[in-house]
Amino acid sequence: MKAIVVGSGAGGATAARELSRKGLEVTLLEAGSQFKPFTRKIGWADSLRKTGLLGKESSFSRLFHPIDTTRASDEIVLVRGIATGGSTTLSCGCMARAERGLLEMGLDLSPEFEELEGRIDVGTVPRERWSAVTASMYDVAMDAGMGPVLTPKAVDMDRCLGCGLCEMGCKEGAKWTSNEFIKEVVSKGGKVITDMPVRKVVLENGRAVGVEAGKRSPEIIGGDVIVLAAGGIGTPQILETSGIPTEDNLWVDYVLTLGGRMDGARQIAEQPMAWYVQRDRYILSPYMDLLSHFFYKLWRPVPLNDRVGLMMKFADTPGGRVLADGTVIKEVTDDDRSIMSLGMEEARLIMERAGVSGPFVEGLLNAGHLGGTVPLTRADVDEMRPSHLPEGLWVSDLSLVPISQGFPTMLTTAAIALRVSRRIASLQERN
């Protein structure tokens, strides 16, 4: 039995690993190249940054090829990883259980969470590895009764150098990425083909029988099972190109970082997001926003070693759309702006009480958790497959999740993929 898995991030690699373990012949297709972490010292770019010569955020991919940025509107930048390992290579290594709205629709991923946490070895960042300003902000939040919590992390602290460049890949291999699962796929005889973007699903008599893939000369790759895990932009784009409808329900988990200043803070020299404060629709967490630091004009005056960031990640209002050509349409709603105001006010309070000075400047509004365009309904949960999809076609990424999480989603993506792939395997065993 042949399975084609499209995408090698948390969703694709987890599905491919499980299907190969169940005896299926797996071919994993990745649109990008083999991932290589950023290995240069980041200080060289500061002089260019101050003059604006680095350009806009679209320049990021020229400096570091695995990063892809897309403008969803004039004020929103979407970030994703296109390389083996997908966006896991660009993550901060956070492994929290994001399950907003899932239990209410009957989807309990607790067994998958527990299994993956044990398999990946999840821990936390010890306080002695925090910067002084991160520790001070934590103490302020604790004293204010905000209940800060240590962030679950998939990072080997013995190997971590504290370079602060988690989102540009870990050259020490301290951070878990889905490339670890890809190695297992290969060990089971699976194929991994890079630089192979999938254009559309091939349908025969209403059934998915393969994909059309390739950059210049597309080829047909056949399979008995097709699993799309190309992420919140890639998956709906493939479906739309294939004539399979998606919903205008895109959510993105906005990130907005409040920047302040403290001389010699050196917040860059630590693991990002060591702790978080949980609110109803958002979290606050210490975070050096490299995207804003290098490409946002209002952040240019403050040197990297003096910059302090407190990030707000919040659950946005679903309602965006992905077109067949990859265009993303997404607008910030009035409700989103109200949530932003609350979070920024709270962030400033914490920073001021921790001794961080102004001017306080909001960073570039960006997002990297993308989903919701092929949402499961309560009726779909048992099958883990939206009922309108053609036979033989499955989705195993955040596209299945109906609402924004406002929380780290890497673990949830993997958990969904594990549930989906086991459902596929069980059906194959019956047949």
Is residue 70, in this structure, part of any structural domain at all? Answer: yes
Please name the residues in contact with 178: beta carbons below 8 A apart, sequence gap of 6 or more: 8, 9, 10, 12, 13, 14, 85, 86, 88, 414
Predicted confidence (pLDDT) per residue in 227-280, tens digit: 999 999 999 999 999 999 999 999 999 999 999 999 999 999 999 999 999 999
Is residue 321, in this structure, part of any structural domain at all? Answer: yes
Is residue 292, in this structure, part of any structural domain at all? Answer: yes
Whether the model clears a pTM of 0.85, i.e. scores above it, the answer is yes
Is residue 301, in this structure, part of any structural domain at all? Answer: yes
Please name the residues in contact with 183: beta carbons below 8 A apart, sequence gap of 6 or more: none
Question: Do 32 and 46 meet the contact criterion of CB atoms below 8 Å apart?
Answer: no
Is residue 351, in this structure, part of any structural domain at all? Answer: yes
Is residue 266, in this structure, part of any structural domain at all? Answer: yes
Is residue 207, in this structure, part of any structural domain at all? Answer: no
| Average pLDDT, rounded, for the chain | 93
Q: What is the CATH number of the domain that holds 317?
A: 3.30.410
Is residue 360, in this structure, part of any structural domain at all? Answer: yes
Instruction: Provide the token pair at 259.
Output: 């920047």
Give the per-residue pLDDT at 428: 82
Domain count, the chain: 1
Predicted confidence (pLDDT) per residue in 55-112, tens digit: 666 666 666 678 888 888 888 999 999 999 999 999 999 999 999 999 999 999 999 9
Predicted confidence (pLDDT) per residue in 397-416, tens digit: 999 999 999 999 999 999 99
Look up the domain containing 354 and give its range.
45-80+124-153+161-169+250-367
Distance CA 73, CA 53 (A): 23
Instruction: Evaluate if residue 392 carries a pLDDT over 60.
Output: yes
